[in-house]
Structure 1
């Protein structure tokens, strides 16, 4: 109060009365927080527990889930300003989270950078080309780069169709670009997320698919590749029909940035961490604290 009084050129008692009034009106809130809740210390915990570079975004408890996503997207966009450099191939997994990040990008001129779509976006109701094109376009425009779409279905009806198309030269050209990625950007899909994962809420999965994934103990997906809590993908039938990259390919990429908001995504996030898919994590503070607590309790 002495410091405030000095700054405002008034008395300490006046400051005391103003603060009392502000607290009574709900304008000012005094709250004691554990030092362990500070974003910097949570980032340290995440690095020690999971071996990732973490950026924890402070978000007020009172904001909506959409606002929380927007604030994390803004933090991710700031990090990408450092990660995206010239002569880099960047893999983009489409979805609600990356769409939010794309809207927050700050233009930066780089040279020879290519943004490639990681997985197909078509389903029985739409080709997905317009949606994927807009997402890639935002990235390529912000960084003066090239955009490479992957115009295939998210999931094929028949695994043999996928294997045949993967032999085509036009498809292999995109797969070759993916093999040269230096950075991938993705979120994790979850079945009960606060902001619904697009692949789970956009006519990509039939009821029978969801039942099968449940029976196979699937907790989430990255770029339409599904996995269990321990990060394993073996024996998950839908992956035979999916268009997403193998986890071996993703793990070979030097920087793998995952952007996550919402406690409902914690089981899926833990599975992705167990699979070794993440080197960099952008996450809101509340979800980060819940992740640290869940891991310590397990």
Structure 2
């Protein structure tokens, strides 16, 4: 029995069974049926048109997640939103965000790119989920210097180094503190040729991987760094700081001009962050909702990786 494609039903069924049920390649089927490989491809396509082959997609994700992602993309003009499961355990939320970020990076990185990373406990989760056997011709760099006395695993240098090793890629480290108290001393420090060369790399970042912090939630980390006092934290609160990206503070509208603390940071600037072609913001749990919203309002990120409960709250704003 022939059809509009000119192939017999028997041939289409035979070909489809070999391909879909016996998992033979088109080249193997070509040998068995003594038909060219290009013909096998056309026969399989014809089998779909005739309804002999029907492909269904079993979506293991919650449909609600897909809808929320699309709604957030439209609302905030984002390239992509990725939602992960929420939990009452903050460590589990960070674990989920880290895994999703690792999966996204494996999908999007391309040879020749420079990938900048910030700091924090959530970003320190990302390298744990990278499984890679091939050489990646990319370079990972930190987007700010080290942060004093806090645990080394959350430093941007350490995260850049671990990601580079997991991706079998290159890296460059910024041998500098993240903050210098005196602005005059900072200006002298950054005139160093090596620091100047590193600053040029900030302008060439293709992908930025950034944790979204809340200075009022991250008080212990800021205090442990030795760069901030409790009075500094109170001043930041009084001035309206609700979020920080790469230790750069912003208010609820995403503005950072009012914060003198930002001038002390050795690292990328807020304006340079906005110019990164693919900037990824990682935020959660729900307590960081206002910080994430400020980051979105300031247009600092183009991709958001967030947990479910926080995503619902962002959509209600």
**Alignment TM class, shorter chain as reference:** 0.7 to 0.9
Partner of 1:32: none
Q: State whether residues 96 and 197 of structure 1, in contact with CA within 8 Å, keep that contact through their aligned partners in structure 2.
A: no
Q: Does 1:170 align with 2:194?
A: yes
Give the gaps of 5 or more residues in structure 1.
Answer: 1-35
Q: State whether residues 189 and 199 of structure 1, in contact with CA within 8 Å, keep that contact through their aligned partners in structure 2.
A: no
Q: State whether residues 188 and 269 of structure 1, in contact with CA within 8 Å, keep that contact through their aligned partners in structure 2.
A: yes
- Cα distance in 2 for partners of 1:48, 1:201 equals 39
Question: Which residue of 196, 211, 222 corresponds with 2:245?
Answer: 222
Pair 270,108 (structure 1): closer, same or farther in 2 beyond 3 Å = farther
Q: Which has the higher contact order (CA 8 A, sep 6+)?
A: 1
- Cα distance in 1 for partners of 2:154, 2:69 equals 37
Q: State whether residues 109 and 142 of structure 1, in contact with CA within 8 Å, keep that contact through their aligned partners in structure 2.
A: no
Question: Which residue of 180, 186, 189 corresponds with 2:210?
Answer: 186
Partner of 2:33: none
Q: Does 1:144 align with 2:203?
A: no
- Cα distance in 2 for partners of 1:46, 1:158 equals 41
How far residue 92 of structure 1 moved from its aligned partner, in angstroms, is 0.7
Higher alpha-carbon deviation: 99-108 or 262-271: 99-108
Give the 3-state SS of the residue equivalent to 1:213 in structure 2: helix
Q: State whether residues 121 and 154 of structure 2, in contact with CA within 8 Å, keep that contact through their aligned partners in structure 1.
A: no
Q: State whether residues 254 and 295 of structure 2, in contact with CA within 8 Å, keep that contact through their aligned partners in structure 1.
A: yes
Partner of 2:101: 76
Q: Which has the larger radius of gyration?
A: 2
How far residue 83 of structure 1 moved from its aligned partner, in angstroms, is 1.7
How far residue 109 of structure 1 moved from its aligned partner, in angstroms, is 2.7
Give the 3-state SS of the residue equivalent to 2:200 in structure 1: helix
TM-score, scaled relative to structure 2? 0.74
- Cα distance in 1 for partners of 2:151, 2:310 equals 34
1:82-129, CA deviations, whole angstroms, 9 ceiling, x for partnerless residues?
122211100010111110112222225344311111011132x47959
Q: State whether residues 124 and 153 of structure 2, in contact with CA within 8 Å, keep that contact through their aligned partners in structure 1.
A: no
Pair 216,130 (structure 1): closer, same or farther in 2 beyond 3 Å = closer
1:206-226, CA deviations, whole angstroms, 9 ceiling, x for partnerless residues?
112112211211101000111
- Cα distance in 2 for partners of 1:110, 1:278 equals 28
How many residues end up aligned between the 2 structures?
A: 255
Q: State whether residues 122 and 152 of structure 1, in contact with CA within 8 Å, keep that contact through their aligned partners in structure 2.
A: no
How far residue 244 of structure 1 moved from its aligned partner, in angstroms, is 3.2
TM-score, scaled relative to structure 1? 0.79
Question: Which residue of 55, 61, 68 corresponds with 2:82?
Answer: 55
- Cα distance in 1 for partners of 2:231, 2:97 equals 34
1:48-95, CA deviations, whole angstroms, 9 ceiling, x for partnerless residues?
110111011134x5x511112111211111111012221110001011
Partner of 2:123: 98
Partner of 1:241: 264
- Cα distance in 1 for partners of 2:172, 2:117 equals 10
Pair 196,99 (structure 1): closer, same or farther in 2 beyond 3 Å = farther
Q: Does 1:261 align with 2:287?
A: no
